[in-house]
Structures are given as C-alpha cells and as structure tokens.
Amino acid sequence: MRYISTRGQTPPHSFSDAVAVGLAPDGGLFLPETLPQFTAADLARFAPLGYADLCFEFLRRFATDIPEAELRPLIAASYTRFSVPEIAPLKQLGENLFVLELFHGPTLAFKDFALQLLGNLYERQCRVRSEKINVLGATSGDTGAAAIHGLLGKPGTAIFILYPDGRVSPLQERQMACTGAANVYALAVDGSFDDAQAALKEIFGDQEFRIRHRLSAVNSINLARVLAQCVYYLWAWLRLPAHVRSEAEFVVPTGNFGNVLAGWLLQKMGVPLRGFRVATNQNDILHRLFTTGDYRLGPVRPSHAPSMDIQVASNFERFLYYSVGSDPDKVREIMATFKATGGYTFTHFNRDTFTASRCTDAEIPGIIKTIQARYGYVADPHTACGFKDLAPDRPSVVLATASPAKFPDTIRAAIGIEPTDPGLEVLKVRPIVKNKLVATPAAIRAFIEAHAV
Ligand SMILES: *Cc1c(COP(=O)(O)O)cnc(C)c1O
C-alpha cells in the first residue's frame, strides 16, 4: 500500500515514510492510494478477536512495509498500558443509547489509542534506520499529553510539545510537564492553539530545518493516527446488538476532525456504519460547515472542553479530497482560498452521512447534570457535547473522549462530585517543568536547535 498527498505534488510514500514525515512535503495530508474493502466474511472473522488482534488485522492492510512478525507485537505492546481488558468498553446507558469509552489509556483520553502506537512506530523507525527523530506537535490539551506518554524515555527520540499557556486544564498541563523524562519538552506559548499550530506549520514548511533535525509531526494530521482510530469504530460496530448496527449514528465530540474522519473512512472501506454526528462546542466552524456549506474561521473562544477549542480543522482536508472527487488541484485551490481569505463557501456541499450539533459553553454543566440524573453516568465536558440533541427514536453511540477525572472543577461545579483517578493523583505532587516561549517560528526554531537529539 502506498500513500499519496491530498495536494497531489508529492510522490507516493510507503507507510513508514508517510508516518515519519507526518505532513506531506507539498503541504497536503497523506491518504492511502486505494482504500481496502472489508467484506461481510472479514467482519464475521473479526468478531471474536480481542482489541490488539483486531487492530493487527486492520493495520496489516496498511502497514505493508512492516513485516507482520514485527507489526503484531508492536501493536500488542501499544495496548498494554490501558487499564481495562476490553481497551474500549462499549456501555449501554438506555435502549437507544450507547457510550464507547475511549479514555482508559495512560493519559485518560482517546488520543492514547493512536499515540501509544505512533510512539512504538517511531521507536522502530529509529532502530531500523539507525536514526534519531525529533517529534514536534501543537496541542490544545490532550494530544500533547498522549504524544509525550507515547514517547516517554524512548531512545533516539525527543519530543517538543507546544501548548497555549494557561488554556489547558491544570491536570492536562501536569501530564505534559511533570513526566521527569529527559527527552520531553513542554513548551508553554503565548497565544492560542491556532497561533501555535500556524507557527508549527511554518517550521515544517522549512525543508532544510525539517530535514536537518529529522522533524516529525505528531498532531492529528499523522496518517497513523487516523488509521489507529478506525479500529475502535470497527470494535464498537462488532459489539452492537445486530438490530442496532445498521441504524446507530456515531456521535463524535469534534475539534480537528481527526476522530470522526476515522469512522467515516472505515465506512468507505465497506463497514456499514450508518453515519456520524459532528458534535462541536461553541467553537463551531464544523457545525457551520455541515449545516450551511460555509467553511469560515471565527475567533477561538476558550471553553469547558478545551481539546475542542479549535477553528482550523486540519483533518477536514482529507474529507475534502474525497468530496471533490479525489481531485488534488481542486483541493489546492480551495485550501489556497481558505488560507488567503479565512473562508470558503461551497455551492454544493455534500455532507455525505454527517450531521452536526453545537453545544454552547453555558449548556455543558447542565448536560453533565442531566446525564448523571438520567443514567447515573458521569461524562467529561467533551463527551457532554455529544449528548446535546440526541435523537430519541434512533440509536446513538456517543464516543466518550476523555475521563471526567481530567476535569474535576467542571464536574464538581455541575454535580457536586469530584471524580478522581489514581494516575492523576500522583501527578499533583510532582514539580511542573515547562519552558515559556512566544508563538513565533523563530523562537521555536531556536529552542529546537538547542535541544534536539
Ligand atoms: C482531541 C480531543 C477531541 C477532538 O478530537 P478531534 O480528533 O480533534 O476532532 C475531543 N475530545 C477530547 C477529550 C480530545 O482530547
């Protein structure tokens, strides 16, 4: 299997090369040259598999340049630090309501599913090629923590994570800045997540610098992340009662469009998922897109669900590629207009099987309270956005993207209980080690220059 860029000006890459570079050199995102198709017989065969075995069966179709004898243990190792044997438990809250819990990994958010795997892929790359790698990412909270825990102490690697100072939760910050690992740099920048991401894009655009430091991107554009996330949709679909399977809408708390895109790609691979709801918080560029066809930047407003405080949904470009008939020239034209003017209006926007909802910040505590009263279930503020406007007559599977224990203040204010997690308690007594920077490419470049492996 080879990987092509959405912008059409990068020669096809192998899986490992596409994973290593992250962003395609032409500024586009990697996609498989063709999508494999899973048949009914495949799905029946997958039904009894455990999570890591299912992941192997899925990824072997994509990671074709890694010998299967290496790929299987690499995947198995990526799911050993989860605290429950199901890895992604599917829980039923009501007749038509299911929750897929994706927060039992080491940093208690769904990003561990991809980043534990990505850390092991990077480690293998360094070993096989006798190279070092410097991983660079921007985070609005959970990505950075998950990326850091995927690479913690791995030889031959260093990781630099930018985050908006004061705009991630104190526990999210502690997960990044209290690891004690020498290869981890938590960089607190002045500005928003989008400022940090813009600076980072510019650094990746500097070919000489990127190649000299063997920089790799860890934000949600990395191909391996999207593919790893397809697996839990497949896992959940296999576990839904037969009469629910063809009807259930997957409701996905959304920021960068990475999580929900993975489900949609799986649908394109022949797994009959009915559709998806893009559930945003008040930072609602995607809600506006899917309801009006207008893709337009707005200001980022900090919310109770900080990992969704995003206006530029990087992974949207992958959906865009397919929705313009796999035409990279059209993708380039649309992305150039968006970059130049801050918006693009689609005259015939095909939203395919997506619906959208939007949750204001003021609504989040009330929703957390209602869910607890109605189902005895405590949802974190991101997951709560998914519970807005649930269809009563149709099954829904809400993806629970973070543990409520990561957001104790919001939960306490909503229901008077403070959820805890033993892994987080130990962090509260460790010293915070962070590096303050301005969100300019020059400042970030200088820091990497001084600390890269
Ligand atoms: C990252 C994140 C999201 C948003 O996921 P995207 O892939 O960016 O759409 C939602 N909830 C939580 C808890 C997250 O960490």
Distance 310 CA to ligand 1 centre (A): 10
CA distance 157 to 131: 9
Distance 170 CA to ligand 1 centre (A): 17
Mutate which of 382, 383, 407, 410 for ligand 1? The one with the most ligand atoms within 8 Å of its CB, which is 382
pLDDT in tens, 53-107: 999 999 999 999 999 999 999 999 999 999 999 999 999 999 999 999 999 999 9
**Which residue lies with its CA nearest to atom 2 of ligand 1?**
307
How much is the pLDDT for 268? Answer: 98
Which region, left, alpha or beta, applies to residue 342 given φ > 0 means left and ψ of -120 to 50 means alpha?
A: left
Q: What is 86-108+224-424's CATH number?
A: 3.40.50.1100
How much is the pLDDT for 23? Answer: 85
Distance 93 CA to ligand 1 centre (A): 22
How much is the pLDDT for 314? Answer: 85
Distance 304 CA to ligand 1 centre (A): 13
pTM exceeding the 0.85 threshold for the entire prediction: yes
Rg (C-alpha) for the chain, rounded Å, is: 20
* Active-site residue set: 111
- The pLDDT confidence band at residue 399, using thresholds 50, 70 and 90, is very high
pLDDT in tens, 244-293: 999 999 999 999 899 999 999 999 999 999 999 999 999 999 999 999 99
- Phi, psi of 7, deg, nearest 5: -100, 0
Mean pLDDT of 302-324: 90
Q: Does residue 354 sit in helix, strand or coil? A: strand
CA distance 367 to 388: 7
- pLDDT > 70: percent of the chain: 100
Residue 448: CB atoms within 10 Å: 18
How much is the pLDDT for 205? Answer: 86
The domain segmentation of the chain, as residue ranges, is 86-108+224-424
Query: Up-side HSE of residue 124: CA atoms within 13 Å toward CB?
Result: 23
Ligand 1, CB cutoff 6 Å, lining residues:
109, 111, 142-143, 220, 253-259, 307-308, 382, 401-402
**Which residue lies with its CA nearest to atom 8 of ligand 1?**
256
Q: Does residue 31 sit in helix, strand or coil? A: strand
